[in-house]
Structure 1
Amino acid sequence: MTSRSSFCRVLLLTCLLGPPVVSVAHAQVTDDVRTLTLEQLLDVDVTTVSRVPDSPAQTPAAVTVITREDIRRSGVTTLVDALRLAPGVHVAQVDANKWAVGIRGFTDRLSRAMLVLIDGRAVYSPLFAGTYWEMQDTLLEDVDRIEVVRGPGGTLWGANAVTGIINIITRASDATQGTLVTAGAGSEQRGFFGVRHGGRLGSLTWRAYGKGASRDAATPVRLPSFDGWRMGQAGFRTDWTPDLRRSLTVQGDLFRGEAGQRVTVTSYDAPYRREVDDEVAMGGGNLLARWVSRTPTGTAVTVQAWYDRTHRRDVAFEETRQTMDLDLQVALARAGRHRLVWGLGYRASADDTRSLPPRQFLPAGRTTNLYSAFLQDQVALVPSRLELSLGTRVEHNAYSGIEVQPSVRLAWTPDPAHTVVASVTRAVRTPSRVEADYVTGSVLSPQVPFFLRLEPNDDFEAEQLVAYEAGYRVRAGSRMFLTASAFVNHHQDVLDTNAGAVRAEPGAAGRPRLILPVQFVNALHGNSHGLELTGDARPRPWWRWTASYSWLRVQLSRDAGAQPGSQEVRSEGGSPQHQGLLRWSFDLPGTWEADWMARAVGALPAVDIPAYVTSDVRVAWRWRDLATFELVGRNLPRAAHVEFTGGTAGTVAIQREVYTAVTWTF
C-alpha cells in the first residue's frame, strides 16, 4: 500500500505541474478485471489469422489483440484511435474528421494496402481503394476486441489484405444485457452520448443501441477552420442459440453524419479554380446474418451473408454504393495431424456516381463481381510442438482477372512459454475504379490556361507483395509477455504516376487550353523491412504496463524505362521510421483508476511532418459498479501538433483536448 500511495503522489504531482489532465468516455465493466492475472488478460482467442480460434501465443503470425479493457482504459472515442495501441500501425489524424492509417508503411488517407473488417463485413471501398475511417463507428462498449494482423492475410481473407488486416469484433448480445447510458463533453468534443439496452427471450438474446457525437473543428495552420464533425448511429444484434451446436446471429446498423472539408473545385471555365468549405453528407446501413452449425465430431460450418449500402455527397461529387456478400466456410474436425479449413465466396458491388466535370467516373456506374475460394491445412508435424500451415486462395476480380495468394506458415513451440514463428506469403492489391475509370483535373496555370488531367488506365495491374517474416514470443512466468517480429517485404507493380505529352484542345469561347495527361501506372518495385518489439507486464495486481517499438524502412525504385512519377518519395517517406508507445495502468486505492500513455512518432519527410511526442492521461472513479466518472486529457504536452498533411485543405494542427464523461449501467 505504501508503494501504491507513492505512485498516487507522483501521478498527482505530474497532473498538477503539467497541462490539464483528464480522461476517457466509453466504459462498462461487468467483470472485475482488476483481479485478473496477465495470463488471464491475454487468454483470448484469435480468429483472424486462421479463421478458427487460436491462442495468441501460438498464432503463426504477428498479431496484436486490442481488448475491451485496453479500449476502455485508453481514453479513445473512435475505433481508428484505438489502433494506436498496436505496434507497427501508424495512425495519423489529418484533421478533426479524417485519418491516415498504415501498417508497416504505405500510410495514406484511405489505407489502400490493408483490409478492414467489422464482424466479418469488409468495409474496403472498391471505388477509391480503401477505407473511409470517418464512416466506421459503433458503440465502443460493444467492441469485444480488435485483432490487428501485421503482414499479409490474402490467403484467407482475399485481395487488399497486403500489409495487414484489422478485424473489429463486437460482443455477443448475451454479454450486453441490461441498460447502459453514457454521455460527456469537452474542449474539442462538443458532446457525445450512447444508449444501449439488452434483453433475453428464452434462447434468444438481443440488444439495441444508439449514439451520437459532435466534434469541434481542428486548427488549420494559417487558414480558417472548416472540419467540424457530427455523426449519429443506431443498430441492433440478436443471437439465437437453441443448443450448443447451433447459433444464428442477425445484426444491423444505420448511420448518418456530416463532416466538414475544404475542397478545390476545378472548372474549364474562368476562374478555373475555387476553394469551397463544404460538408460531406454521408449515411448508410448494413444487415448481416451468420449461421453456425457444429457436428458431434467437431466440424463447424459457417454461412454468412451481408448487405451494405453507403452514400456520400459533397459539392462536386456524389456516390451511392450497394454491396452484397455471400460466404461459406467449413472447418473440418481434426483428422490425425490435419485440420482443414476451406471456403467459397461471392461478392457483388454496384455504384452510381454523379460529379461536376472534369471530375467524373467513366462509366458513371459499374457493377463488379468477385468470386473466391480458399483452402488451408494446419499440419501438426510434432503434436503440440511444431505446426505447419499451408494454404492458398484463388480469386477472380473484374480488373486483373485471376489472382492466386498462397502462404506457408510455421510455428514451433518447444515448451508452453516459448514460440518461434516464420512465414512466406503472397498478397495483392487489386485495381479499383480510381485507376481504371477515374478522370479528374487541376489547374497548373490559369493564365494559359494549363490543366493537369488524370486519365483512366485500363492496363493497370494488381500490386504484388511477397512477405518473409520471423517472430519470437516468450511468456516470462505469469507476469510478463514479450514478442519480437522481423519482416522483409518485396513489392512489385506498385502504384506510381506517369505524365504524357502536353497537348492542346479547344476551350471556352474558342480559346485553346493545354492539357498535361497523367495516369496511374505500375512503375515501382523494391522492398520494405522492419522490426517490432512489444512487452506486456503486470508487476503487481494493481499495476500493468505495456511498451512497444517499431522500426521501418521502405526502399522503392522505378522500373526500367519508367518515367519519373510522384509516388516513390511519398511511399518511402510517408510513414515514420521509428515509433514508440508506453502505457501504464494503475488501480488506485478504493475504486479509482489512472492511466497514462505516451507516444513518440518519427518524422514524415515526404509530407514535411516533423517528429512529435504526445501523451494522454485518464482518471476514473467507479461507484458501486453502477456508474463510472471519467476525466481524460489527450495530446497534452503541446497546445497543438501536426500529424499528417491535409492535401488541398492545407495542414491542420491537432489540438490538446480535455473531456469528461459518465457511464451508468443498470
Structure 2
Amino acid sequence: MRRLLLSYAVSLGAALAASPALAQTAAPPPPASTPPEPTAAITETVVTATRIPTPIERVPGSVTVIDRRTIEERGYQTVAEALQTVPGVALIQAGGPGQQASAFIRGTASRHALVLLDGVPINDASDPNGAFNFGNDVLGLEVDRIEVLRGPASALYGSSAIGGVINIVTRRAPRDRPVEVFGEAAAGSFRTLRLGAGITGTVGEFDYLFSIRSLSTRGSDATASRFTRNTGERDGFWGVSATARVGWTPSDRFRAEALLNWRENQGGIDNVPNDDPNYEFDDRRWTGQIRLEGRPLDVWTTGLRIARTEDRRRYTNLPDSLSRATTDDLFRGRRDSLDWGNQVRLPDMGVFDQSLVSFGVSAEEEEVRQASGSPTFRTTVDATQTTTAAHAAYQVRLFRRLDLTAGFRNDVPEGFNSAATYRLGAVLQIPEVSARVRASYGTGFKAPSLYQRFGRIGTTFQGNPDLRPETSAGWEAGAEFDLAVAGNRDFATLGATYFDNRITGLINFNAAFNSLENVDRARIKGVEIAATLRPARWLTAQLAWTVTDARDARTGDRLARRPEQTIAINASVRPVEGVTIAPELLIYGRSREGAFASYRDNGTSFAVSRDNKAGTVFNLVGTWQVTEPVALFLEGRNLTDSRFEPANGFQIAGRSVLVGARGRF
C-alpha cells in the first residue's frame, strides 16, 4: 500500500490540488460577535452532500448543518450532544463521557454511519463492526460546523455510508487578520472543568490554526439507580485534544495545506447490572492529512490528498472486592488513504446551466492489531485489507429551477467482489408558492470489518474471509415550504420527508455460533418532519420530529435501540440586546432492547426482547454578550433530573449546571 501511495503521489503531484470534494478552500468570514437575525433568505453552502460546494436548497437529499453559532448557543460540548437534535438520528449512549455512544441514522445500524474529519474517514478500523464512538469527541472552539447527510451515500464516499455521512469541519483562518486569539473556560457540577484556547490568522500567503481543548469531570454513576445492588460509583473522565493546520496560498490557482488532529481520553467504564470500580479505558487517536488544490484551467479544479488515521484503545480491570476479573485489552487500528479528485465546469447551453462533472480515484489500506479477553478465551486479529475505488458524478440545473444529480462509484476491496453503487436525485424549485420538492434514490454498502473476516476467539470462533459486503437500496421524497404571515415573509419554514431503505446481507452469527454469515435483512421506513418559526425578530423556534419503523425483514421484529419516535424542540429567545436564552426539549419514544440486554431491578436479565421506556430531557442555556469579543454563559442540562435510560440499564447524567466565559480577540 505504501508503494501504491507513493506511485500515486508522484504521478498525480503535478495535477496539484485536493478537489472541493475534500474541503472548502474558501475561508468563510468569522462569525459576528452578535449573531444576525435569522432569515429564510440566507443561502448556506455544504460540501458533504454532493462532494461539490452546493447551496443547501439545491441539494437533492436531507442535510442538516450544525454551525458554530448553534453549538455555542445550545451549549453542546460533545458531538453526541449535538447530534441528538438532528432529524432521523437516534443517538444512544451506554455510559458517561467517553463510553460507547452509537448513532442510528434512519434506523440503520451504528456501523452504517461514516464519520469524516475535514473529509478524512475516522471510523476506528479496530472496532469489531467498524462503528464510530460518538461519546469520545469534545466540540472544541476549532470546530466550525457539523454536516449531516442522511440516506445511502456510498456512491459518494464508499463503505459504511449506508445510513449517512457525518462530516466534522474545522474552522478556517480569517483572511483579513494576522492574529486572532480565541478561548473558553467553564466549570460546574460533578467537578467539571472545560478549557480551550487557540490562535489563528493569515500572514501574507500563509495561514495557520493552532488550538487545544480539555474536559475533565468527576462524572456521575451511569449505571441505573433502580438496580438494588447499585454501588453509586462515579466514572470520571479526562480528555484532551489539539489541532494544527498550516496553509500556503501563493495564488488564486493553488493551495497547499497540512492538518493534524490528536486526542486522548481516559476514564472509568460503567457496567450493568453491577458496576466495577476498577474498569478503565485509555483511547487515543491521531489523524493527519496533506492536501494540494489547484486550478490548471478556469474550468478545471483538480486535487490530491494523502491521509493517515491511527487509533489505540486499551481497557484494563484489576481484581477488587466486587469482582476477581482481570482485563487487559488492546486495540490498534490504522487507515492510510489517498484520494485524487477533479471538478470540471461545462459551458451553459440553452436550458442547461451550472453543469459540473466530478471524477476521481482513491486507494485505502486498513490494518488491525487486536488482543482482548481472558487468556483462555482470547480474541485476536492481525490483518490488513486494501481497497481501491473510482467515482464520477454529474449535476446540472434546467430551466433555472430543476437541479439534477447522478453519481456512480465502484469499490474493489481486497479479497471479495467489487461493490458498485449509484445515487440519483432531483430538486425542483417552485418560487410561485415558495416551495422546494426533493427526491433521491441511492444504493450503499458496508464492507466486512477485519475482525469479521479474520478475527479469532480461542478455538471456538473463526471469522469468515468469504463474507460479502452488506448492501442497501433506499429512496426518499419530501417538500419544504416558506410561509409568509402578516407581512413577515420569513414567518415559517415547514418540511416533511418520507424515507424507505432495504438492507440485505447483514452479517450475523451462523447457526453453530462459530463463525459469521450474510444472513439477515432489514426493512426501514419513516418520516422526518421539520418546522422553523420566526414570529418575531427576537424569537426563533425549531421542531424536528422523526417516526421510524425499523424491522428485521425475516421475522418482522423491531430492531434494537431504534426509538419509534424522537422529538427535538429548540428555541432562541433574545429578550434584550446581547442576551440569548436557548431552551431545548428532547423526547424519546420507546425502543426495543434485545434479549439478555434488558434487566430487572434486581439485576437479572430477561430471556426475551423487551421495550425500553420512553424519556424526556430538558436543557437550558443562557448567553450574555458582555462586549464585542467576550461572552458569559450558563449551561443547564437535564434540569428535571430525568433518569431516562437510552440503553437499558444506563441512565443519563443527573441535573448539572456549568458557568463560563468565551472570547475572541
Q: Please state how far the C-alpha of 1:122 moved relative to its aligned partner.
A: 0.3
Q: Secondary structure at the match of 2:69?
A: helix
Does structure 1 conserve the Cα–Cα contact (< 8 Å) formed by 2:463 and 2:515? yes
Q: Which residue identity lines up with residue 642 of structure 1 in the other structure?
A: E
Displacement of 1:496? 3.0
Aligned residue in 2 for 1:11: none
Task: Find the counterpart in structure 2 of residue 365 from structure 1.
Answer: 382
Contact 1:437 1:457 in 2 (8 A): yes
Deviations 1:468-488 (A, max 9, x none): 211112233334322211111
Structure 1 position 161, deviation (Å): 0.2
Closer/same/farther in 2, CA of residues 254 and 213 from structure 1, 3 Å limit: same
The residue that corresponds to 2:9 in the other structure is none
The residue type paired with residue 640 of structure 2 is: P
Number of the residue aligned with 1:425: 442
- Aligned mates of 1:160, 1:437 — CA distance in 2: 19
Matched residue, 1:528? 524
Q: Which amino acid aligns with 1:185?
A: A
Contact 2:630 2:661 in 1 (8 A): yes
2:612 is matched with 609
The alignment partner of 2:340 has SS state of: strand
Which residue of the partner structure matches residue 231 of structure 1?
239
Q: Secondary structure at the match of 1:69?
A: helix
Cα contact 2:76–2:139 (8 A) shared by 1: no
Q: Distance in 2 between matches of 1:248 and 1:578?
A: 45
Counterpart residue type for residue 534 of structure 1? A
Q: How does 1:493-642 map to 2 (within 5 A)?
A: 493-500=505-512, 517-558=513-554, 569=557, 572-606=559-593, 608-642=611-645
Q: Distance in 1 between matches of 2:340 and 2:134?
A: 28
Are the aligned partners of 1:96 and 1:216 in contact in 2 as well (CA < 8 Å)? no
Deviation at 1:552, TM superposition (A): 0.7
Q: Deviations over 1:356-403 (max 9, x none)?
A: 4455455x42121110110111243x2322232222100011353310
Among candidates 238, 242, 255, match of residue 247 of structure 1: 255
| Aligned mates of 2:31, 2:439 — CA distance in 1 | 38
Distance 1:275 1:541 in 2: 52
Indicate conservation of the 8 Å contact 2:331/2:369, yes or no.
Answer: yes
Q: Give the Cα separation in 2 of the matches to 1:216 and 1:427.
A: 41
SS at match of 1:641: coil
What SS class does the counterpart of residue 85 from structure 1 fall into? Answer: coil
Relative to structure 1, the CA distance from residue 283 to residue 376 in structure 2 (aligned partners, 3 Å threshold; closer, same or farther) is same
SS in 2 for 1:73: helix
Distance verdict in 2 for CA 1:357–1:238, change over 3 Å:
same
SS in 2 for 1:301: strand
Q: 1:276 Cα deviation (Å)?
A: 7.2
Separation (CA, whole Å) in 2 of partners of 1:453 and 1:638: 45
- 1:663 is matched with 662
Query: Which residue of structure 1 lines up, in the alignment, with residue 603 of structure 2?
Result: none
Query: What does residue 320 of structure 1 align with?
Result: 332
Q: Secondary structure at the match of 2:451?
A: helix
Change (3 A) 1:74 1:193: same
Letter in 2 for 1:411: V
Q: Deviations over 1:307-355 (max 9, x none)?
A: 2222111233212223211111101112344421111101112222233
Q: Equivalences for 1:359-508 in 2 at 5 Å? A: 360-361=378-379, 364-380=381-397, 382-415=398-431, 417-440=434-457, 453-476=460-483, 477-500=489-512
Deviations 1:246-301 (A, max 9, x none): 2222111222221322579xxxxxxxx99673221122322212222124533211
Q: 1:290 is paired with a residue of what secondary structure?
A: strand
Question: 1:234-313, aligned counterparts within 5 Å?
Answer: 234-262=242-270, 277-313=278-314
Deviation digits for residues 624-666 of structure 1 (CA, Å, limit 9, x no counterpart): 1232111111112235321114xxxx53443221111111322
Letter in 2 for 1:466: A
CA distance in 1, matches of 2:151, 2:375: 39
Query: 2 CA distance for matches of 1:488 and 1:663?
Result: 43
Corresponding residue for 1:47? Answer: 47
CA root-mean-square deviation = 2.5
Does the 8 Å contact 1:182/1:661 carry over to 2? yes
Partner in structure 2 of residue 10 of structure 1:
none
Greater Cα shift, 576-585 or 238-247: 238-247
Deviation at 1:92, TM superposition (A): 2.1
The answer to whether residue 356 in structure 2 is matched with residue 339 in structure 1 is yes
d(CA) in 2 for partners of 1:335 and 1:156? 24
Cα distance in 2 between the residues matched to 1:200 and 1:146: 24
Q: Is the 8 A contact 2:125 2:335 kept in 1?
A: no
Query: Does the aligned pair in 1 maintain the 2:282–2:315 contact within 8 Å?
Result: yes
Q: C-alpha separation between the residues in 1 aligned to 2:81 and 2:498?
A: 25
Distance 1:200 1:411 in 2: 38
Q: Name the residue aligned to 1:101.
A: 103
1:172 aligned residue: 172
Alpha-carbon distance between aligned partners in 2 of 1:661 and 1:537, rounded to the nearest angstrom: 30
TM-score (ref. length: structure 2): 0.83
Distance 1:202 1:43 in 2: 30
Question: Are the aligned partners of 1:399 and 1:431 in contact in 2 as well (CA < 8 Å)?
Answer: no
Moved more, 471-480 or 625-634: 471-480
Q: After the TM superposition, which of the residue ranges 576-585 and 601-610 deviates more from structure 2?
A: 601-610
Deviations 1:502-529 (CA, angstroms, capped at 9, x unpaired): xxxxxxxxxxxxxxx4433222224111
On the 8 A contact 1:75/1:616 being kept in 2, the answer is no
1:226, 1:403 → 2: CA distance? 46
Q: How far apart, in 1, do the equivalents of 2:404 and 2:275 lie? A: 58
Tell me the distance in 2 between the aligned counterparts of 1:298 and 1:662.
46
The SS at the match of 2:45 is: coil
Identity of aligned residues (%): 21
Which runs of 5 or more structure 1 residues have no equivalent in the other structure? 1-27, 265-272, 442-451, 501-516, 560-567
For the residues of structure 1 that align with 2:390 and 2:108, how far apart are their CA atoms?
Answer: 28
Higher relative contact order (CA 8 A, sep 6+): 1
Could you tell me which amino acid in structure 1 is paired with residue 559 of structure 2? Answer: E
CA drift of 1:537 comes to: 2.9
Tell me how far 1:453 sits from its aligned partner: 4.9
Q: TM-score by structure 1 length? A: 0.83
Mark the CA change 1:319 to 1:157 in structure 2 (over 3 Å): closer, same or farther: same
Q: Give the secondary-structure state (helix, strand or coil) at the position aligned to 1:133.
A: coil
Task: Report the structure, 1 or 2, having the larger strand content.
Answer: 1
Provide closer, same or farther for how the CA distance between residues 641 and 216 of structure 1 changes in structure 2, counting only shifts above 3 A.
Answer: farther
Distance 1:310 1:196 in 2: 24
- 2:212 matched residue in structure 1: 210
**Equivalent residues of 1:399, 1:430 under 8 A apart:** no
CA distance, structure 1, for counterparts of residue 76 and residue 199 of structure 2 = 22
Letter in 1 for 2:307: W
